[in-house]
Amino acid sequence: MFIAGLAGLYFGAEWLVKGASRFASSFNIKPVVIGLTIVAFGTSTPELVTSVIASIKHSSDIAMGNVIGSNIANIGLILGLSAVVRPLKIDMKLIYREMPIVVGISMLLYFMGWNGALSRLEGSILLIGILAYTCYVYRIALRESRTIEQEYEEFEEFIAARDKNIFKDIVFIVIGLGALVGGAHLLVHSAIYFARVMGISELVIGLTVIAVGTSIPELATSMVAAIRKESDISVGNVLGSNIFNILAVLGIAAIIQPLRVNSASLRVDM
């Protein structure tokens, strides 16, 4: 099971990065935009599924710990390892545009949890936030695509070749995401079983085993992107995943069932 999970992660990451990179080129969209949306949201699927199931089962510690721990792992572990593999060239627009968003929604979550709970109303606010963010990134992508495509509109062969490759790119992305999610599921399932046998608390499991486990797709994708010299996808994946985790994952989980916020986790981990 462990080896099968690793294989799924490796091949899934390879296909996802390849498909996402070519998809971005086909539509004249910067790879960082694809990294912030399609790749980031896709690799965050394990966090979404895990926290939603935890919310349904009234396991608030796992739902919250999963997101907080995953975000810590994304920045501390995944970006660090990706930079070790190959120095990352960061688009300065990410620093000025996305970093304030990441910091802002992290602070918003901190203050929302100050009263010891995340209500359905607060979950709805977070969910509206991810919809607004998606529209914001879409407008940026549309503007960039139109600007570049105007330079090529006289080349009909270019447009025709692009259209032929779109389906293939989408297939790569979908298969890659499926392999990533499946591989992560196998690894996380084994890790959770082991942790519970050892008598570890749910909060600790959520912050460590599950958080790191559900971040494995991001890790695999960002490292493969770094190896393939796709720094924008590598960094965009991490930032976009952190945004999606807070706004979408916790938003949906809180709407399903109000989440209890552990005060110790709020003070230390946030």
Residue 250's pLDDT is 94
Domains contained in the chain, CATH given: 2-268 (1.20.1420.30)
* DSSP structural state of residue 262: P
pTM of the prediction? 0.75
Query: Rounded to an integer, what is the distance from CA 186 to the centroid of its chain?
Result: 19
Contact 118, 112 (CB under 8 A): yes
Residue 180's pLDDT is 66
Contact 258, 118 (CB under 8 A): yes
What does the pLDDT profile of the chain (270 residues) look like in tens digits?
Answer: 656 665 665 566 666 666 666 666 666 667 667 777 777 777 787 778 778 877 887 878 878 888 888 888 888 888 888 888 888 887 777 778 888 999 999 999 989 988 888 999 999 999 999 999 988 888 877 776 555 455 444 444 444 444 556 777 677 767 777 776 676 666 666 666 766 777 777 667 767 777 777 777 788 778 878 888 878 878 888 898 899 999 999 999 999 999 988 766 666 555
Residue 27's pLDDT is 62
Q: Distances in Å between the alpha carbon of 90 and those of 37, 81, 122, 217, 234?
A: 17, 15, 33, 21, 10
Bridge partners (DSSP) of residue 259 are 118
Residue 87's pLDDT is 85
Q: Distances in Å between the alpha carbon of 106 and those of 7, 58, 67, 112?
A: 33, 23, 11, 10
